[in-house]
A and B are shown apart, each in its own frame.
Chain A
C-alpha cells in the first residue's frame, strides 16, 4: 500500500468546487487510487477509483496526472451535506492490509 499525504482540513462555501489533492510518490505500477467519504457517526463510503487520466461519476471526478504521483478529488458545487472526511487510498488487489490515513476534513459553510 502506497504512503499517502493529504491536507488535514479544507473550508469551502456552498456552490463552490472543492479540490482535494493526495500525494503518493511511491505509487507502484499496478496500484489504483481510491477515495472514500465519511460522514459523522457513519462508516466510510467508497466514492471513486481510478488508474490514470480522469474518472467521473455522479458524485465526483478524479484527476490523475501522467506521473501518477498525486491525484485530485474534485467535488463540484458542494452543499452543506458534503461536509465530511475524505480519505485517499492507493493500492492493488493483493494489498490485503488496507490502512487509512487521517483524511481531509472538508467543511462546507452556507
Chain B
C-alpha cells in the first residue's frame, strides 16, 4: 500500500534552474496539496487541487506552478529557482467528504536546496 509517493527525496539546484517535484497517490483521493516547511517553522500551503483539472493557490504560490491532469498525480513545478525556495516540500492527499475527512495523508517529503 504505497499511499502518497514523492520524488525525488533530495535535490540540489543552482539559482535559476527549474525542476519538477513529483507526487502520486494510489488512494483515489480527490483532494491533493503541496506544502513547504522551512527549518523550525510550520507548514505553508503552496497549491491545492480538488480534482483533476482543478487547482488553486494557497498561501505562498509565487515561484511555483502545478497541474492535475489525473486523479493520481499532482506535480509541483519550480521555475527559476531561488535560495528562498530552499525548504522541505510535502505532498498530501485526503478523500474529502466522508469519514475522517480532515485526515491528510502525507508523503515522506522532498528536501530541496538552492545554491
Contact = CB atoms under 8 A, between A and B. Distances in A.
A87 B102 CA distance: 12
A41 B90 CA distance: 11
Given A93-B96, A93-B101, A96-B48, A44 B106 contact: yes
B109 A41 contact: yes
A28 interface: no
Interface residues of A, number: 26
A96 B35 contact: no
Interface in B56-115: 56, 58-59, 88, 90, 92, 94, 96-98, 100-109
Contact of A100 (B43, B56, B100): B43
Contacts of A41: 88, 109
B52 interface: no
Given A89-B102, A91-B102, A93-B97, A43 B109 contact: yes
A92 B94 CA distance: 13
A69 interface: no
Nearest to B31: A96
A29 interface: no
A23 B41 CA distance: 20
Interface of A: 32, 34, 36, 41-46, 49, 85, 87, 89, 91-103
